[in-house]
Structure 1
Amino acid sequence: MSAKTDTSTPKDAPIEHETAETLLSLVRRLEHELLTTLDADSPQQAVDSLLTSVECLDELDTALAELDPQVTGPLVQRLRLGLDRLACDLYRRGGWQHLDESQRQALLARHAAGLTQVDGIGPASAQVLFLHGISDPERLCQWEPDALDDIEGLNAAVLARLKRELEASRKSGAE
């Protein structure tokens, strides 16, 4: 009987110096872009910097995924959540006005996509919710069910389903 050779890399194997340097560089670049976004003099400048921040996060996500997606995935998801919230807030403050229609649509599709994690919310409904200040499932849960009636553009079936789910989550949270 021959011994099976394990060629996989152990999870606790040290990261190569070059890989560590690349990751550190990407993290520093992302940090710089995020700070630039937060320190911008106007919402328009913040949106321009946000676009670069998203590109940096995409690069970091790709590099981290090569290491261990189970560990790095949740970190990147939280960063994306923060960028989605920032994008939504900037939209609400008029920061997207200087973008052309294709840029606005691309930004909207990208940052509203997290809402499609909610059962029954497709891309179109996610975009409607996003434009009304709901950037992610956590923010959706903060809304009162009846407040959703004020959102134009949701079809009746989606509206009814979301209201039921919000009411059910409120009841289970109160118990």
Structure 2
Amino acid sequence: MEDDARIIALLQAIRELHQEIEHAEGADAETRRHVLSMARVRLATLEVPDSLPETVREGVNRAHRHLAELALALYREGGCDDLDEAARQSYLDEHAEPLTAIAGIGPTLARRLFLHGLVSHEQLETVEEATLARVPGLNAGHRARILRALGPGETDLASPNP
């Protein structure tokens, strides 16, 4: 019963975040950036206990990924063009920050991955080395560290091929 109440509360919170984002569509870039930032913070503070079913945790992860995709789309469509360089970097760092939870990924590397469209841990878990190779500024050593951090049995991509 306690888990049922938590699931209902999580669903309600995510539904409210979705509605807030929908209401901001068509608003000016500053408003949209603010709404996305606030939604990211609120989503990050939601408590998702391990006792909840995997499908619920996956749903919350999808909400995180969708929010990051919206932030990237806003950036790509010029929604940060009115900002100075430091503010643009801050926006990118904020939305790319979850990627820094992966060993070997710092803020700069997270920003590069984010700008390339790799916005979530789940995407990186399934990414092919060839896709990582197309990320500007990501060398073979970076790729090897990322792939090792994401799963056992990955080969060292920094080594030359025989």
Q: TM bucket by the smaller chain?
A: 0.5 to 0.7
Distance 2:146 2:134 in 1: 13
Matches within 5 A, 1:25-174: 30-37=17-24, 39-40=25-26, 45=29, 48-56=31-39, 58-59=41-42, 74=57, 78-162=62-146
Residues 148, 159 of structure 1: 8 Å contact kept: yes
Aligned counterpart, 2:160: none
The CA deviation at 1:93 is: 3.2
Shift of 1:31: 3.7
| Distance 1:105-1:161 versus aligned 2 partners, 3 A rule | same
- RMSD between aligned residues: 3.9
CA–CA distance in structure 1, aligned partners of residues 145 and 40 of structure 2? 33
Share of identical aligned residues, percent? 35
| TM-score of the aligned structures, taking structure 1 as reference length | 0.58
**Greater radius of gyration (CA):** 1
Q: 1:30 to 1:150 in 2, by over 3 A?
A: closer
Bigger Cα displacement from structure 2, 128-137 vs 93-102: 93-102
Number of equivalences: 144
Q: Which residue of 2 aligns with 1:17?
A: none
* Cα deviation, residue 126, structure 1: 0.8
* Cα distance change, pair 27–121 in 1 and its aligned pair in 2 (3 A): closer
Query: What stretches of structure 1 of length at least 5 have no aligned partner?
Result: 1-10, 15-19, 170-175
Q: State the Cα distance separating 1:85 from its structure 2 match.
A: 1.8
- Structure 1 residue 34, shift from structure 2 partner: 0.9
Q: CA deviation at 1:124?
A: 1.9
TM-score by length of 2: 0.62
